[in-house]
Structure 1
Amino acid sequence: MIDPRLLRTDPEAVRESQRRRGSSVEVVDELLAADAARRSAIAAFEELRAEQKSLGKEVARADGERKQQLLDRTRELAAEVKQRQADSEAASARFDALLAGVGNIVADGVPEGGEDDYVVLESVGTPRDFAAEGFEPRDHLELGELLGAIDIERGSKVSGSRFYFLTGVGAQLELALINLAMNKALEWGFTPILPPALVKPAAMEGTGFLGQAADDVYHLERDDLYLVGTAEVPLAAYHSEEILDPETLPRRYAGYSPSFRREAGSYGKDTRGIFRVHWFDKVEMFVHTDPADADAEHRRLLGYEKEFIELLELPYQTLELAGGDLGLSAARKFDCYAWLPSQDRYREITSTSNCTDFQARRLGIRGRFADGIAPVATLNGTLVAVPRVIIALLENHQQADGSVRVPAALRPYLGGRDLLTPVR
């Protein structure tokens, strides 16, 4: 959540951030009123509670008629204090609920606009000219079927639409990508983690996934646990309610886990193949750091993503997203889009977000800094989302006969193979 002090000292900054997100600006006035009501209710409760404590001491010293008067007042106060406490708790709950719906403060320099108003920062690599090579490129599903790598039909039979099996070299490709990603993360100084894929509501709420993204989350009602849509959730909550020594920052983690998403609102979009699915595996980078270092750490994560994509020899673009396309927790976000020949366009395969102290404040993750104890900053970045990277690999490195060239960086993880060949 945002710092409530910012709301009180500079409400215009919060209004401007809400405007840039395309979110409610009026909520700022509602919050200010709710904050005033909350503080007033707390003051009234504390005043009566102090009187109650004072009377208790007087009763112990009094006798006779005076003692009876004090006891009568004590009984009256007990009911009043209970009511004031209820008023205070209700006012605080309203304020907290309103504050939880306010997104992180959009960083300076983030583009204006919505989903289509991103800025392309760079284009790296040149898409192949398949026409010059004399053949029409197949899409990833056709290639996956030729290679015996992807089975959509049985995925749908067993689990329903937007599920799949990776088989044969498809399964080997996933393991190769995961191993390459984890080895690179180790090389960059990350600690590898295999986090739980089920988390308590506090972890999901703390990372901002029960607000605008709630419809996309799977909830196990009987256990009151959530299936994570990204390892960002358990990695963020890993240090919840802890105070970290600044000498140990930044703490960089690389988590490998399954990710589960309802894909609510995506009916009819990307229905062919494995681009938009309900389950996939992913390696996620996550950082807890000093807020003063968050911007530099964000650029570092983007650099790691780009380096990994270049190891896979994929043409790609780096984008900065507009304020209206940021998730609740992000103050700034960069995406990397790989070229997909079958779609004749670039599509998202990684993203990295600077969440400043927004998630840490909600999760109670603080640092013992020189000027006192304060929330740390958190950042996340996708290193590899397996299905989308497999799509990009198959389509960009395909050959006319349906075989697929293996990038040099992946060959050690595929037994030295430099070519995947059709099995049918």
Structure 2
Amino acid sequence: MIDLRLLREDPELIRASQRVRGESTDKVDALLRADEERRAATQRFESVRAEQKSLGKQVSKASGDDRAALLARTKELAGEVKAAEAAANAADETLRAAHLAVPNIVQDGVPPGGEDDFVVLREVGETPKIENPKDHLEIGEALRAIDTERGAKVSGSRFYFLTGVGALLQLGMLQLAIAQAVEHGFIPSITPALVRPEAMEGTGYLGAHASEIYRLEADDLYLVGTSEVALAAYHSNEIIDLNGGPERFAGWSSCFRREAGSHGKDVRGILRVHQFDKVEMFSFCKPEEAEAEHLKLLAMEEEMLAKVEVPYRVIDVAAGDLGSSATRKFDCEAWVPSQSRYREVTSTSNTTTYQARRLNIRYRDEDGKPQTAATLNGTLATTRWLIPILENHQQPDGSVRVPKALQPYLGGREVLEPVR
């Protein structure tokens, strides 16, 4: 949620953010009205309740006609108080709904526009010159590393098996990510794959992204699409100690996405699937530290990409493609030879105080007063990385060179050979 005090002081700032996102300012105006109506309803309730308490004290001291008049007014007030309380509660609910509907404020410097209006910040590494490159599925099938046919047989489309060296590659990559995170002071975590609705709502995933989420109706639980959700809710309704600097986690989890609306898009292989594994970084920090923390998470992602030796580029995502919680987002896109294009493999978002305000996560400032914390997230490794790893390291005979950093996780093998 955005800060209501900021909304009252400078509503035009919020409207301008909406325009940069390419969205209507109607939600901002609706929130302003709801805020004013809630404050008026609350004031009315408090006024009649105060009068009720005052009369209650007077009744005990009055007698005769005065007492009878006071009792009559007290009876009238009981109905007024009940109605005013109901109106205040309804106004609270209306305000919360309007508050949840307004996205985070876009950071200055974010490119305007939609999905295709990103800005390339840098390109790293040379794209390999491969004649007639095979795609990751053809390579993976030859290595007996990826089996989408049996995945579909067992679970349906967009499911797969990773077998043999495919399983070892993924496990090695994720372990490498965890090792790097620990080296940089992150707390390694294996997180729940199922969360309560308040955790999903608190991170902003029950808005525009609700159709992407698997829900278990019988238990009123959601399958996470990223461990960001569980990690963000880890400190919900807590006051945490940030005096020693940001608190950083690296969460390993299986992730689940319905991929609603992607029918016929990226159906081959494991680029867009319903289940995958991921190591996600998550930071809690003071708001003034958030921009620097965002750059740290991006540097962590680039360090991992260098270890798996794939060329990539970093993009500054345009405002219309940020998602409701993010104020700024950087993506790393790895080169995919079979497609002759870059594809997203990491994303890191600065969500400032937006998620923490929803989840009631605070810290104490230098004066000991509770303040809303900031949160950030970023991908450190995920199943999708197997695509650029296999394709960029393929060799003419069908074998795949193993990046040096991953060799210890594959028994020291430098090359993966096709299974004849």
Moved more, 246-255 or 354-363: 246-255
Match of 1:14 in 2: 14
Match of 1:156 in 2: 152
Match of 1:377 in 2: 374
Q: Among 358, 367, 384, which residue is 1:362 paired with?
A: 358
Displacement of 1:47: 0.4
Q: Identity, % of aligned pairs?
A: 61
Quick one: which amino acid aligns to residue 124 of structure 1?
V
Displacement of 1:304: 0.7
Match of 1:130 in 2: 130
* d(CA) in 2 for partners of 1:270, 1:203: 30
Displacement of 1:76: 1.4
Quick one: which amino acid aligns to residue 6 of structure 2?
L
* d(CA) in 2 for partners of 1:159, 1:62: 77
Match of 1:187 in 2: 183
Displacement of 1:195: 0.9
Alignment of 1:341-420 (within 5 A): 341-371=337-367, 372-386=369-383, 388-420=384-416
* d(CA) in 1 for partners of 2:99, 2:342: 36
Q: Among 312, 315, 330, which residue is 2:308 paired with?
A: 312
* d(CA) in 2 for partners of 1:236, 1:354: 13
Show CA shifts across 1:188-237 (max 9, x none).
11110111111111111111101111111111111111111000001111
* d(CA) in 1 for partners of 2:111, 2:133: 35
Alignment of 1:10-409 (within 5 A): 10-131=10-131, 136-371=132-367, 372-386=369-383, 388-409=384-405
Structure 2 gap ranges (5+): none
Aligned residue for 1:398, secondary structure, equals: coil
* d(CA) in 2 for partners of 1:399, 1:333: 35
Aligned residue for 2:243, secondary structure, equals: helix
Displacement of 1:68: 2.5
* d(CA) in 2 for partners of 1:58, 1:215: 58
Q: What TM-score do the two structures reach when normalised by structure 1?
A: 0.97
Provide the aligned length of Structure 1 versus Structure 2.
419
Displacement of 1:55: 1.2
* d(CA) in 2 for partners of 1:373, 1:237: 18
Aligned residue for 1:246, secondary structure, equals: coil
Quick one: which amino acid aligns to residue 361 of structure 1?
R
Displacement of 1:24: 1.8
Task: Compute the RMSD of aligned alpha carbons.
Answer: 1.0
* d(CA) in 1 for partners of 2:78, 2:399: 80
Displacement of 1:64: 2.9
Quick one: which amino acid aligns to residue 370 of structure 2?
I
Aligned residue for 1:189, secondary structure, equals: coil
Aligned residue for 1:120, secondary structure, equals: strand
* d(CA) in 2 for partners of 1:169, 1:221: 37
Aligned residue for 1:61, secondary structure, equals: coil
* d(CA) in 2 for partners of 1:24, 1:39: 25
* d(CA) in 2 for partners of 1:186, 1:29: 45
* d(CA) in 2 for partners of 1:26, 1:361: 22
Displacement of 1:265: 1.2
* d(CA) in 2 for partners of 1:174, 1:39: 53
* d(CA) in 2 for partners of 1:166, 1:290: 40
Contact 2:216 / 2:222 at 8 angstroms: preserved in 1?
yes
Quick one: which amino acid aligns to residue 146 of structure 1?
A
Quick one: which amino acid aligns to residue 9 of structure 1?
E
* d(CA) in 2 for partners of 1:130, 1:215: 39
* d(CA) in 2 for partners of 1:154, 1:176: 23
* d(CA) in 2 for partners of 1:22, 1:94: 25
Show CA shifts across 1:289-328 (max 9, x none).
1111110110011001001001111010000001100011
Displacement of 1:43: 0.6
Displacement of 1:34: 1.6
Show CA shifts across 1:78-137 (max 9, x none).
111111111111112111111111111100100010100000000111111113xxxx21
* d(CA) in 1 for partners of 2:242, 2:176: 31
* d(CA) in 2 for partners of 1:355, 1:28: 19
* d(CA) in 2 for partners of 1:200, 1:26: 30
Displacement of 1:140: 0.6
* d(CA) in 2 for partners of 1:174, 1:120: 28
Aligned residue for 2:60, secondary structure, equals: helix
Contact 2:313 / 2:333 at 8 angstroms: preserved in 1?
yes
Q: What TM-score do the two structures reach when normalised by structure 2?
A: 0.98
Contact 2:174 / 2:382 at 8 angstroms: preserved in 1?
no
Aligned residue for 1:255, secondary structure, equals: strand
Displacement of 1:330: 0.4
Quick one: which amino acid aligns to residue 2 of structure 1?
I
